[in-house]
Structure 1
Amino acid sequence: MDAIDRAPKLVTVFGGSGFLGRHVVHALAQGGYRVRVAVRRPDLAYFLQPLGRVGQIQVVQANLRYPRSIEAAAAGADAVVNLVGILAESGRQRFHAVQAEGPNLIAQATPADAMLVHVSALGASLHSASRYAHSKAEGEAAVHTHRPDAIILRPSVMFGKGDTFFNRFAALARALPVLPLAGADTKFQPAFVGDVAQVVARAVSGTVPAGRIYELGGPEVKTLRELVEYVLAVTERERVIAPLPFGLAKVQARVLSLINALTLGLMPAELKLTVDQVELLRTDNVVSEAAIAEGRSFEGLGIAADTFAAVAPSYLGRFRKTGQFDIARAA
């Protein structure tokens, strides 16, 4: 066996510098893989390199608008992971280009003998009125067209340090006395980002059955109101939750989007809301009964998923009035 045969396998991770990406890169590095992180802005991704040994993690430039850059990033890889996605459109970052055409190009560029893992989202549907959910489903269809053996993961809303879910509501509660809430009764099944990353790592290792769609939701199903109430309890803030009808919520979203455009995108991220995001809230974001019965879930993969109560307080404490270093609390 020569040196090339003994070299650790190479995994290309598209979108590896994002919230989920940094956990995936860490999990793969811990598994001994060489990791090639393909991102639009390599200068903003070098923070990933300390997650592995010297030389184990390489950052390269790739842009979904340029197929040749995708081909170069995927060349020679033993596995390819696609994590690229956006929650809202801005500039040239459009849902169809990023979440439909992007996966199509990545699937075509993935070497024939390489494993392909594509991360989509729970709620992806060609019948959805949400352009986000519709484009996610288009991306899945494109991946399956070119690679029927690909593994597709649909996580629910993900939580963890640096998330845009619990942190968003905690920040709003710190700033506002009243929290307007669209979709207060919509159900969610939050998944710990570290658990999702472990599924990606297992998929790359070949221990996850290929050619299937997996739905990843945490142990608890809660309404959006219940999740916001949890955030208020952890951050020790009393706020009024004001449920909004979807029609009024869309008016609010249009006003906020206009303000954001007039301020050239400088509005705080916590205040940004789009009509498409309101549309998403019409549908419950939970694992289907079919996925559970067929073993296409955390439980079916043998993973005991973490609850948000076990993780979220570790990073929400900073939103308390006394902060995370309360001397009386520590005593």
Structure 2
Amino acid sequence: MTSTPASNLDTLVTIFGGSGFLGRNVVRTLCKRDYRIRVAVRRPELAVHLQPAGKVGQIHAVQANVRHPASVEAAMRGSQVVINLVGILAEGGAQTFDAVQTRGAETIAKAASAIGARMVHVSAIGADENSPSLYSRAKAAGEQAVLAAAPSATILRPSLMFGPEDQFTNRFAALARISPFLPLIGGGVTRVQPAYVGDVATAVAEAVDGKTKPGATYELGGPEVLTMREIMEIILAITERKRMLVSLPFGLARLQAMFLQFAPGPLKLTPDQVAMLQSDNVVSDAAKAAGLTLEGLGITPGAMQAIAPQYLWRFRAAGQFQRKSA
């Protein structure tokens, strides 16, 4: 069993997937709270950009692959807390939803349980074993596997996350640069509750601090429930571009996704992503009633309209110096 540390300086936190979009923010937040960080990633040389987030020697990157249990066990040796942020939006080769988000999560949870480390597992609000989306079903199975191996684990389910370098708002802002229209899959009526990545990172840090309920599942959403059409309108307003919003029925979107799944950059769209958009992605009434939300953790969530202009300005025709029309 891992002994209880006297302070954060004595606490080693191993983060699987710490070099990704959410991971970078989690590392930065935990560094400010003086934790020692071990970032477990498939290619440690690509995690050097994290070093400036902490003090000298505070962050250390090691090699680990969630598909290889021995590497996972070695990566978390001596840790008091383990965080799993590993996830993929599209399958490729051996990196399948089941291998990464189900069996990979189970491998991490079993290894954490074996050394007596606390576990924080980041899933997604859309996790549902009955979902038409393979991604969402794998997320649900991953949650079940984590709680079976580590019953006191904290599960965090964020809604769609936005922030600098996200693959959400930046993607559609980039698409608006090259396309005269933006697609509204399913008519753009799907509701989401976009969460600022910095708020989600703070929630992870609160869990590391031990301020979450053991074995509980938290749902993390922003202050507003928005339709996909409303989000597109916000992005266009911030980037000061006029584009047509074209409704695309789910059937036609699935057909196009069969080809666009091989497209580069902002044009990429997979059939599974279309399936995910068939369901709303919002915080449930049950989570709100139980206080298992950002607000329940004492975090006031930031709104997209207030935060997104701070980084989407670069998609304006003249950047931050673009003049407003009279």
TM-score (norm 1): 0.93
Q: Quick one: which amino acid aligns to residue 169 of structure 2?
A: F
Aligned mates of 1:25, 1:302 — CA distance in 2: 20
Where does residue 161 of structure 2 map in the other structure?
Answer: 158
Aligned counterpart, 1:167 = 170
Q: For residue 62 of structure 1, what is the aligned residue in structure 2?
A: 64
Give aligned-pair identity as a percent: 57
In structure 2, how many angstroms separate the alpha carbons of the residues matched to 1:269 and 1:115?
37
Displacement after TM superposition at 1:74 (Å): 1.2
Alignment-mate amino acid for residue 251 of structure 1: L
Map residues 1-331 of structure 1 onto 2, 5 A cutoff: 8-110=10-112, 111-183=114-186, 184-257=188-261, 260=262, 267-326=263-322, 328=323
Shifted more, 4-13 versus 143-152: the winner is 4-13
Distance 2:49 2:319 in 1: 27
**How many angstroms does 1:31 deviate by?**
0.6
SS at match of 1:154: strand
* 2:297 counterpart SS class: coil
Q: Give the secondary-structure state (helix, strand or coil) at the position aligned to 2:223.
A: coil
CA deviation vs aligned residue, 1:35-69 (integer Å, no higher than 9, x gap): 00000010100110111110000000001121100
Asked if structure 2 preserves the Cα contact closer than 8 Å seen for 1:8 and 1:32, the reply is: no
Greater Cα shift, 272-281 or 111-120: 111-120
Distance in 1 between residues matched to 2:28 and 2:118, nearest whole Å: 19
Count matched residues.
317
SS in 1 for 2:142: helix
Q: How far apart are 1:324 and its partner, in Å?
A: 2.0
Distance in 1 between residues matched to 2:42 and 2:221, nearest whole Å: 29
CA–CA separation in structure 1 for the residues paired with 2:219 and 2:125: 7
Question: 1:263 corresponds to which residue?
Answer: none
Q: For residues 29 and 8 of structure 1, what CA distance do their matches in structure 2 show?
A: 13
User: Is residue 206–residue 297 contact of structure 2 (8 Å, CA) maintained in 1?
Assistant: no
How much does 1:321 deviate?
Answer: 1.1
Query: Structure 2: which amino acid aligns with 1:117?
Result: V
Post-superposition Cα deviations, 1:152-174, rounded to whole Å, max 9, x if no partner, equal 00000000000111111101111
Letter in 1 for 2:178: A
Query: Distance in 2 between the 1:5 and 1:233 partners?
Result: 50
**How much has 1:212 moved relative to structure 2?**
0.2
Code of the aligned partner of 1:272: K
Displacement of 1:5 in angstroms is 6.0
Provide the C-alpha distance between the structure 1 equivalents of 2:237 and 2:142, rounded to a whole number of angstroms: 38
- Distance (whole Å) between structure 2 residues aligned to residue 121 and residue 97 of structure 1: 17
- In structure 2, stretches of 5+ residues that fail to align are none
Distance, in Å, in 1 between the alignment partners of 2:164 and 2:274 is: 24
The one-letter amino acid paired with 2:154 is: I
1:178 and 1:46 mapped to 2: Cα distance? 38
SS at structure 2 position matched to 1:163: coil
Q: Determine the C-alpha separation between the residues in 1 that align with 2:86 and 2:27.
A: 14
CA distance in 1, matches of 2:202, 2:36: 16
Distance of 1:318 and 1:195 partners within structure 2: 23
Cα deviation, 1:198-248, whole Å, max 9, x if unaligned, reads 010110111111110000000000000010011011111111111111000
Partner SS for 1:45: helix
Q: CA deviation at 1:179?
A: 1.5
| Mean CA deviation greater in 136-145 or 7-16 | 7-16
TM-score, L = length of structure 2: 0.95
Task: Structure 1 unaligned segments of length 5 or more: list them.
Answer: 261-266
Structure 1 residue 180 displacement after superposition: 2.0
